[in-house]
A and B are shown apart, each in its own frame.
Chain A
Amino acid sequence: EAGVAQSPRYKIIEKRQSVAFWCNPISGHATLYWYQQILGQGPKLLIQFQNNGVVDDSQLPKDRFSAERLKGVDSTLKIQPAKLEDSAVYLCASRPLTGKNGYTFGSGTRLTVV
C-alpha cells in the first residue's frame, strides 16, 4: 500500500511571498488532515476534510491560510502571504472513514520563511 505522498519536501521563501503544498492521501482514505509542526513542538491540527468537505478548520489562520480538497482526493494547502512564524513542517495525514485510528502521516514539507 502506497503511503501518503507530499510535495515539495523542502521550500524556502521570503516573507510576504506565497507558497503551496500538495498532498496525495492513501487511496480510499476519506479523511485528510493538515497539521503544522513548529520546531520542538508536537503537530497541531490546521484543517480536517472528510471527502471534499471541511470538518474542522477552527485552528486555520484563515486570513492567510487556505486549503482545498477537490474531488475528495488530493489536497493543497496555501499560505499567502507568508510570515516568519509560518516556518514549520506541514504534515498531511489520512485515514479511512471507519476504524479506530488508522492515521498515516506523510513525510511532510519543511517550510522556511526568511
Chain B
Amino acid sequence: GQQLNQSPQSMFIQEGEDVSMNCTSSSIFNTWLWYKQEPGEGPVLLIALYKAGELTSNGRLTAQFGITRKDSFLNISASIPSDVGIYFCAGSNYGGATNKLIFGTGTLLAVQP
C-alpha cells in the first residue's frame, strides 16, 4: 500500500530548539493531518489542515498544507522533553469513498533536557 515520504527520519535536539519536518506525496489530498504517537499508544491528532496553503497553529505547533496539495510541513517551536515521540503525517480525501488515512513513514523526535 501507499505510504507518504516523511523527513527527516529522526531528529535528536536540545531542549528549546525549533524543529521542522515535512511530508510529500505522489498524489494529491484534500486533507492533511499530523499525529503524534508515544510508546504503547495509538496516534493522537495534533493538527488538521483542509485547504491548500492553509497555515494552522496549535500552541507551539504550526503546520502548513502545501499549495500543490502534495505536501505538508510541521514546525515545533521551543521544544520541551515531553515533545518526544514519533510524528506522523497523514493524507486523506474527505468526502471520498472511504476517508481512509494514508500515513507517512514517521519522524522520531528525541529531546535532550
Contacts and interface: CB of A to CB of B under 8 A. Distances in A.
Given A48-B98, A103-B101, 9 more contacts: A4-B42, A41-B3, A43-B43, A43-B88, A43-B101, A91-B43, A100-B31, A101-B94, A110-B40
Q: Give the bracket for the number of chain A residues in contact with chain B.
A: 20 to 34
A101 B106 CA distance: 20
B42 A100 contact: no
Contacts of B90: 42
A105 B44 contact: yes
Contacts of A44: 1, 3, 103
B88 A103 contact: no
B50 A42 contact: no
B1 A31 contact: no
Interface of B: 1, 3-4, 6, 31, 33, 40-45, 48, 50, 88, 90, 92, 94, 97-101, 103-106
Contacts of A14: none
A56 B103 contact: no
A63 to B, nearest CB: 17
A91 to B, nearest CB: 5
Interface string A91-114: 101010000110101111010000
